[in-house]
Structure 1
Amino acid sequence: MPASPPLRVAILISGRGSNMASLIEAAREPGYPAKIALVLSNRPQAAGLATAAAAGIPTASLRQRDFPDRDAFDAEIGRVLAAHAIDLVCLAGFMRILTPGLVEAWRGRMLNIHPSLLPLYKGLDTHERALAAGDAEHGCTVHFVVPELDSGPVVAQARVPILPGDDADSLAARVLGAEHALYPKALAEVAASLGPKSVP
């Protein structure tokens, strides 16, 4: 039997897209169950768009100020995803909270990576908070997106030790390295579990 086509993935970014780059690299491997079919940003100047374009991946950008409200903006995101026949969405440094309507439409098909060991430290400033708490370890989590911030089911986690002398920057750099290894593995796991073109 011929190999089944990989799931079509959209990555949503707001900046340079370092996690996006790790996903693009992983998806080049033979047999990887997902194909990066679109990179979309809410910032037209996001450096990650150029990285994606250089890799031959279609890109799109939308600015919320061009829409009357968040619902209209997110509805357009949904239309762009549909136009590219997207099966699965990965948030990778997308610095916007999506509306419940869009999140619910993609329930079970939208992933995010967060720089903490959820349920610890939802939201921002996770590295500073882990240091302030005197934690021995920190890390990152890939989870399904639900309307409640950083609260969806966990797919995978990676742990990083907090070392003597760590500050927020040194800890962030080490966690980011763990993210780059974790996200491609988690995406492969989810894409394989969904199966080829099994999503509606």
Structure 2
Amino acid sequence: MTEQDVTIEEVDYKDFSVGGKKKWVNLIKFYLLPTWRNPEFTAYEDQIEKIKSKRRMFRRLLTPLTIIGVLMLVFISILAVYGPWLTEIPLQEVLLPFIPSDTLPFEDPTPGHPLGTTKYGFDIYARIIWGARSAMGYAFIPVIISMGCGLILGTISAYFGGPVDYGIMRFVDLMYVLPMGILTYILIPMIGRDLIIQLVIFGILGIPGNIR
């Protein structure tokens, strides 16, 4: 009888015998080897854990505070990107030393000035739009400095370990001890009141948190 003439009963019995033998071998390994785990069961557990982790992530994201924060970021981003199309007043006309001559200080909201004017006669609506545009641009400076330097120093600390890790972690502990607000007020008058310098200082003060 050739291999092609094997009956269905023989094939089923053969598969059953192999499966049963594998089952008994796995049971013996499970009882005799404390750290042994069934690879198929472990892979199944990993798949379930991945699904649960994704569900937990979405559950944490779908909270009222997160949704409000995302909507605020989208609103500010729209103001920053489409600022020139949302107001007819250029940036130069909402900053000192320019003083507008066609408006009065503290005007009530009008069709031409939806949010009124400031004490210098500047349009508040235009200042909000141009302020959002400036804030979105300058906000990247401290974030890039703190995350970039923190990632580099944290990687060095984890890779080398030993004295290098100890020295970097003690530097982080020292930065945590210092009051950041008071330190900022001390450094800014000493270094300068330029906006870029202030943003660099804020970025440096945010490095310890990213190293951890």
Q: Structure 1-normalised TM-score?
A: 0.19
Question: Whose strand fraction is larger, Structure 1's or Structure 2's?
Answer: 1
**Higher RCO (CA 8 Å, separation ≥ 6 residues):** 1
